[in-house]
Structure 1
Amino acid sequence: MQRVRRGLDLLLGLVCCTLLAALVVVLVWQVFSRYAMNAPSSSTEEILRYGVIWMSLLGAAYAVGQGSHLSVDILRDRLSHRGKLRLDAVIALAFMLFAGVVLVWGGWKGVTIASRQTSAVMQIPMSWVYLSLPVSGALMILYSLLNLADLSQGRTHHVDPEEQPEMMGE
């Protein structure tokens, strides 16, 4: 299981980093073409919009796998180790339910509806954009299953703020 998690982390991290680097290049081109050449590129805004959608949803799936999603730890801090493991299991199951119903099932409905539409400028199928929902949902379910497998062995992937390295300037 750890090999699967490491491989998935590496692949998803590589995709997100590559996507971020590409978006930075597109943004620089957009600014340069608009202000230096006085001829703004028409497709850069769509590329950035759809790239941010994909990067955000893939990043959310990665956060589920790392246990670094947004959470309120007031209850968690008061639980025993066993209670924390149970709470983490409930959270993983909740992520699976949300990802399965909203992202995979609902997202696939969006993909099928959007398959008849194209983007305004680049004329790409909008289903490619909406595909980010079921893909990220499937990744969240996979990560949640990996998290549950780890929890069954007494390991957790919850990020503890006290174990985080100190930020510069604090």
Structure 2
Amino acid sequence: MESIKKILDKVLSTICVILFGALVVLVTWQVITRFILNNPSAFSEELAKYCFVWLVMFGAAFVFGENGHMRIEFIQDSMPKKLRIASQLFIEVSIIAFSALVLISGGLTTTKIAWTQMSAALNVPVGYLYAVMPVSGGFIIFYCIYNIYVIAKTKKPLEIV
């Protein structure tokens, strides 16, 4: 499980770097065509939107893998060790439920609906924009299961990054 997590971390971080680089290039091109050439590029604006959405969703999954998501630490820090472990397990299970219901189930439904719509500038199905939801939801669930595994194995609360 550790090796799968390391591989997934590397893949997600690489994808995020590539998407961020592409986003910078696309937005720069959009600014150049809009303000210097006075002829805005339609494809770069829409492609930047796709890159941004995918970057945010994959970035969120990567943050879950680093255990860097938001939480109220001072409450957990004031708890005894066993209660802290129980609260972390509850948080991980809650995140799994949210990811399964909203990101995976809702994402699949939204993707199916949007698959019949075509984007104006790129002429590709809008479903590609929403397809990242179930994918990132699956990654987040994997990371939560991994965190539960680490808590059960070490019998210690997770280190908060």
TM-score between both structures, scaled by the size of structure 2: 0.93
| Structure 1 gap ranges (5+) | 161-170
Matches of 1:158 and 1:100, distance apart in 2: 25
Distance 1:157 1:51, change over 3 A: farther
Q: Is this contact kept in 2: 1:96–1:140, CA < 8 A?
A: yes
Identity of aligned residues (%): 29
Q: Is this contact kept in 2: 1:66–1:157, CA < 8 A?
A: no
Q: Deviation string for 1:90-122 (max 9, x for gaps)?
A: 111111100001110111000111111011211
My pick for the range that moved more, 71-80 or 102-111, is 71-80
Q: Quote the residue 2:8 is aligned against.
A: 8
| Structure 2 gap ranges (5+) | none
What SS is found at the alignment partner of 1:153? helix
Report deviation, 1:84. Answer: 2.1
Q: Quote the residue 2:33 is aligned against.
A: 33
Matched residues, number: 160
Matches of 1:40 and 1:120, distance apart in 2: 15
Matches of 2:119 and 2:89, distance apart in 1: 40
Matches of 1:8 and 1:90, distance apart in 2: 24
Map 1:1-170 to 2 at 5 A.
1-154=1-154, 156-160=157-161
RMSD (CA atoms): 1.4
Considering fraction of residues, name the structure with more helix.
2
Q: Is this contact kept in 1: 2:93–2:144, CA < 8 A?
A: yes
